Amino acid sequence: MKNIILFILVIITTTSCFQKSNKVLNLTGPSIEQAENINRTSNQYVDGIYEASETETSLSYQQSYGVEKTFHINYRPIIVAKDFKVLQADIGSVGRPVLDIELHEHAHQIWYEATRRAFLNKSLLFIVINGKVVSAPSVNGGPITGGRLQIAGDFNMEQIQQIIDGVKKRAPQAIKEN
């Protein structure tokens, strides 16, 4: 009985460290155009969401399962960190850790159009964090409205929190002057 109570307390303590805050972000960082220029000239991709490219780029992604195919990623992101309104760790519907993202309203239509193209072309979208593809989801259910997305993968809560902290560090909050 003592072990069960201790186990429950550990779970409560662990999950309370990652409670959702829904705190609105005001991240700074490069625009889509600036990110494209950085990506082309430095070969170090800016945090964001990218579409597949028809031509070779400096960043490619090899799926670890399924068909052995290398995907090339467009230099121009569709979404950059400053488009993130909310960025938080959560537990997904299947009980696994996920990264919840809500986009600022100005990015909703951009996200919808990108997911529409990915759905129609049966292509992947690439989530790039710290110069690496952390997830490459397909859009199976049609275009995504509402500006919300969840990134799931083989992550634990600590890894998701490190992703969030890294994005916030590389694209810090804008200081509002009163």
pLDDT digits (tens, 9 = 90+) for 62-120: 766 666 677 889 999 999 999 999 999 999 888 999 999 999 999 999 999 999 999 99
Tell me the pLDDT tens digit for each residue of 6-24.
333 333 333 334 445 567 8
- Cβ(163)–Cβ(105) below 8 Å: no
Taking 50 as the threshold, does the pLDDT of residue 170 lie above it?
yes
Assess if residue 106 is contained within a domain. yes
Mean pLDDT of 47-54: 91
Reduce the DSSP state of residue 42 to 3 states and report it: helix
Alpha-carbon span 133 to 74, nearest angstrom = 12
Assess if residue 27 is contained within a domain. yes
Assess if residue 8 is contained within a domain. no
pLDDT score recorded for residue 178 = 41
Closest of 116, 109, 126 to residue 53, by C-alpha: 126
Q: Which residue has the tokens 């952390």?
A: 134
pLDDT score recorded for residue 3 = 40
- Please report, for the domain that includes residue 69, its CATH number: 3.30.1360.200
Range of the domain at 96: 20-170
Closest of 84, 146, 87, 89 to residue 115, by C-alpha: 146
- Overall pTM > 0.75: yes
Overall domain count for the chain: 1
Assess if residue 176 is contained within a domain. no
Assess if residue 129 is contained within a domain. yes
Mean pLDDT of 164-176: 82
Alpha-carbon span 133 to 168, nearest angstrom = 17
Mean pLDDT of 154-166: 91
